[in-house]
Structure 1
Amino acid sequence: MALQRDSLKADSIARKNGQLPGALLPGHRIVAFYGNIRSKGMGILGREPKDQMMRKFDKVLAEWQAADPSLPVMPALHSVTITAQGAAGADGKYRLMNSKSTIEETRAWAKQKNAILFLDVQVGLSDLEHELPKLTEYLKDPTIHLGIDPEFAMQTKGVRPGKKIGTYDAKDVNYAINFLARIVSENHLPPKILMVHRFTQGMLTNYKNIKLDPRVQVIMDMDGWGNPTLKKDSYKAYVEKQPVQYTGFKLFYEYDIKPKGSHLMTPQEVLTELNPKPLYVQYQ
């Protein structure tokens, strides 16, 4: 019997400047609206009626394109698809996956917009090995990418989501990279993007052990909220000082303006005050 070839150990990966054909980064800046189309509370994606939200999105995309004409803006919808829960559920894992119809409707919204789609995963007391395979069929779509959120990864904490900030280790991120790389190889797809949320030191351990693969482009996204000074400090501490590959930055329509004297940073501020300039920007 012939040995089955492991698609992760692909015979040859055509590289051009270390880039595979169809790689979105660093040739674009991705600007994403985050949330869930069925939830008003999770982010801008579901907070407003669809048409109103899309008009707002168009305005934001135009602002980013004007702020840096050198880089084409790529719109993205970033949908929380497996969501941490306050209730344990039948198997005690504190997470729930969106219905197929919700995922398909979100995919349709993205296609209408010529946007890429991120499926975001909050594992609760489960783990990536059990959750990511549920998304395999969707990830075979070349326009669909993945986000993982350590804040709600509670296995090592042993408490339900929301009690403490969760954590991933490099080995978890490597699992996600390998998972995506295999889908890319087996389905002859352009590289996938893996976005990892981060706003504290403890949310990601042993970052130096993350093993990059040209089939997967990794974004570390600084997603803390608060006044601009605090956000910039967090970006410097956890993204600039512990770089993995590409960087992201999150803006919160509701929470960034809460502290007294605070405001939502403009595209111009983000580009002039953060180094490196983030190639992924998310609005919640």
Structure 2
Amino acid sequence: MRSRPAARVLVATVACGLLIGAAGCTSSEPEPTRATLSSASADTVTVAAGSDAAERSLRASRALFRSAPGAVVAPAGDADAVAAASGVAERSHVPVLLAGEGGGKAVARELDRLGAGWYQAEGDVSVDTDATEQDAPDGGDAPEAGRASRPTTVVVADASADAAVVATAKAAGAHVVRMPDGVTDPAAAPDVVTALHDGAGGPTLLVGSAFAALPDPEWTVRAAESGFQLRNGGQRPFDGHRYVALYGAPGAPALGVLGEQGPEATVRRAEAVAKPYRAKSDELVTPAMEVIATVAAGDAGADGDYSTELPVSTLEPYVDAAHDADMPVIIDLQPGRSDFLSQAKKYESLLKKPGVWLALDPEWRLTKDQVPLKQIGSVSASEVNEVSSWLAALVRKEGLPPKALVLHQFRLSMIQDRDALETHPELDMLVHVDGQGSQPDKQATWKALHAGAPKGLHWGWKNFYDEDTPMLTPSQTMSEVTPTPSLITYQ
């Protein structure tokens, strides 16, 4: 998977050198009679996320048009006027500019930047400009292309709130795609990911106040351009998705059910275990594998770390079988006296693949005087942060879609200073509550770990075939474990 060059993110200002004729800039070119598209470079990601629709309309005009012979102006609060202006602008291939509460001064500045000689007003709006108020020509010439090899892809969070921007985008010949209701991350919207993939090589404009909280718009767009999507669509591991996974180590039945059969049979078994959940889930259910890559050992071994690192070649058949079946694989680490980052780096070649995620099991993270099964290990938030920073950087470097980082835990002491856990836009972090035993004890652990947990965490639950008394059925898992887990594993 190839990485793309770094892009500039334009949020609040536009440099004079980027858009000829911008306010405060000069140009020796004659007044245009035909609109020209923005000369923004192909890798530009522009965000118009202000809370004011008028401001967003002006940002869209600046992002999409280098110049225009005219524009259509309407008051931001008049839906009928905005609708009328939108129709005129689309036919005339010019932008729609909305006047907000501050009046028409900002609109006048944008008309000057565009080099517009005229404007058509819809509704009660006044603009102090040298441009002439007149009716727009019906069916103007299409704008001349800018430098980008492909048209701009415009992602709109709320098409009704930004009807003016939609019209401006259509007037510019841009491709418009709308976000689903209630979704604020483009990576979680299948149609948006598809549109950004199809538009790779052209500029991108994200429009809507919902995008104000998007941590890294540039990376989000670049990841979507890869085109990778999870089985049920989108790229965000735990946004609209639920997983049912088999857990274990290859060739080791005692460590979990995954080791009871080979890769292809594991795929079939995972599909069968996940199937009953689909009728009970309000989110799409996908089978998965959690493969133990480093196994905590009872003896020190040649390297003295009480952990057996399986070779990549042993894991590859499971990763390949899961990839062919369109299901994710979680690589699980039990480091013994080693550390999580050192072990994670041993499996970098697998983690470079989309759909291969990482799990840390602090139960088996031991100090220099501890031994597996005699003490329960723990990890500091700072060590987890080292791993998450490394994994996030790998995602960014390789141009990968978001990954999941799973943290196993059944005691509060297993993750120290968890309030200090760092988040990254490239990762979805999940706490996997994997205690075994009676259901009252498991429920008590589940509730204790939720109390005071950092915001933004996702949650997982483990069902043990032999150790739980009794093991929950799929129906019970979905109804009795609240909040409903995003990842359910079987061991």
Q: TM-score, normalised by structure 1?
A: 0.87
| Amino acid corresponding to residue 243 of structure 2 in structure 1 | I
Describe the SS at the equivalent of 2:315.
helix
Report the Cα offset of residue 59 of structure 1: 2.5
Distance of 2:300 and 2:366 partners within structure 1: 12
Distance of 1:75 and 1:112 partners within structure 2: 13
Distance of 2:329 and 2:265 partners within structure 1: 19
2:415 is equivalent to residue 208 of structure 1: no
Q: Contact 1:26 / 1:279 at 8 angstroms: preserved in 2?
A: no
Report the Cα offset of residue 233 of structure 1: 1.0
Q: How does 1:28-39 map to 2 (within 5 A)?
A: 28-39=241-252
Report the Cα offset of residue 95 of structure 1: 1.0
**Cross-structure match for 1:170:** 381
2:280 is equivalent to residue 280 of structure 1: no
Distance of 2:303 and 2:265 partners within structure 1: 38
Report the Cα offset of residue 218 of structure 1: 0.5
- Aligned with 2:345 (options 133, 136, 141): 133
Q: Contact 2:293 / 2:331 at 8 angstroms: preserved in 1?
A: yes
Q: Contact 2:270 / 2:289 at 8 angstroms: preserved in 1?
A: no
Distance of 1:71 and 1:90 partners within structure 2: 46
Report the Cα offset of residue 240 of structure 1: 4.9
Report the Cα offset of residue 51 of structure 1: 6.4
**Cross-structure match for 1:66:** 279
Report the Cα offset of residue 106 of structure 1: 1.5
Quick check: 164-173 or 40-49, which moved more? 40-49
Q: Contact 2:354 / 2:401 at 8 angstroms: preserved in 1?
A: yes
Describe the SS at the equivalent of 1:67.
coil
2:446 is equivalent to residue 235 of structure 1: yes
Q: Contact 1:220 / 1:246 at 8 angstroms: preserved in 2?
A: yes
Higher relative contact order (CA 8 A, sep 6+): 1
**Cross-structure match for 2:255:** 42
Q: Contact 2:334 / 2:365 at 8 angstroms: preserved in 1?
A: yes
2:231 is equivalent to residue 24 of structure 1: no
**Cross-structure match for 2:270:** 57
- Aligned with 1:106 (options 290, 307, 318): 318
Report the Cα offset of residue 43 of structure 1: 0.3
Distance of 1:191 and 1:55 partners within structure 2: 26
2:401 is equivalent to residue 194 of structure 1: no
| Amino acid corresponding to residue 422 of structure 2 in structure 1 | K
Distance of 1:194 and 1:31 partners within structure 2: 16
Distance of 2:355 and 2:462 partners within structure 1: 21
Report the Cα offset of residue 198 of structure 1: 0.4
The count of residues paired between Structure 1 and Structure 2 equals: 269
Report the Cα offset of residue 113 of structure 1: 2.6
**Cross-structure match for 1:158:** 369
| Amino acid corresponding to residue 232 of structure 1 in structure 2 | Q
Report the Cα offset of residue 243 of structure 1: 4.4
**Which has the greater radius of gyration?**
2
Distance of 1:240 and 1:268 partners within structure 2: 25
Q: Contact 1:34 / 1:79 at 8 angstroms: preserved in 2?
A: yes
Cα–Cα, structure 1 residues 92 and 50, in superposed 2: closer, same or farther, change >3 Å?
A: closer
**Cross-structure match for 1:85:** 297
Q: Contact 2:299 / 2:306 at 8 angstroms: preserved in 1?
A: yes
Report the Cα offset of residue 161 of structure 1: 1.6
Quick check: 84-93 or 103-112, which moved more? 103-112
Report the Cα offset of residue 275 of structure 1: 2.4
**Cross-structure match for 2:82:** none
Q: Structure 1: which 5+ runs fail to align?
A: 1-9, 257-261
- Aligned with 2:461 (options 249, 264, 279): 249
Distance of 2:274 and 2:411 partners within structure 1: 28
Cα–Cα, structure 1 residues 243 and 277, in superposed 2: closer, same or farther, change >3 Å?
A: farther
Cα–Cα, structure 1 residues 127 and 11, in superposed 2: closer, same or farther, change >3 Å?
A: farther
| Amino acid corresponding to residue 479 of structure 2 in structure 1 | T
Describe the SS at the equivalent of 1:96.
strand
- Aligned with 2:475 (options 241, 264, 268): 268
Q: CA RMSD in A?
A: 2.3
Cα–Cα, structure 1 residues 40 and 279, in superposed 2: closer, same or farther, change >3 Å?
A: same
Report the Cα offset of residue 50 of structure 1: 5.9
Describe the SS at the equivalent of 2:255.
coil
Q: Contact 1:240 / 1:276 at 8 angstroms: preserved in 2?
A: no
| 4+ residue segments displaced more than 3 Å | 10-21, 48-56
Q: Structure 2: which 5+ runs fail to align?
A: 1-6, 10-44, 48-184, 187-210, 225-234
Report the Cα offset of residue 54 of structure 1: 4.5
Report the Cα offset of residue 58 of structure 1: 2.4
Distance of 2:330 and 2:387 partners within structure 1: 14
Distance of 1:184 and 1:114 partners within structure 2: 19
- Aligned with 1:124 (options 322, 333, 336): 336
Cα–Cα, structure 1 residues 134 and 266, in superposed 2: closer, same or farther, change >3 Å?
A: same
Distance of 1:217 and 1:53 partners within structure 2: 25
Q: TM-score, normalised by structure 2?
A: 0.52
Q: Contact 1:81 / 1:98 at 8 angstroms: preserved in 2?
A: yes
Q: Contact 2:263 / 2:317 at 8 angstroms: preserved in 1?
A: no
**Cross-structure match for 2:31:** none
| Amino acid corresponding to residue 106 of structure 1 in structure 2 | Y
Q: Between the two proteins, what is the percent identity of the paired residues?
A: 30
Q: Deviations over 1:71-114 (max 9, x none)?
A: 11122110000111111122211111112321111212312432
Q: Deviations over 1:240-284 (max 9, x none)?
A: 54245100001111111xxxxx32112222222222211111111
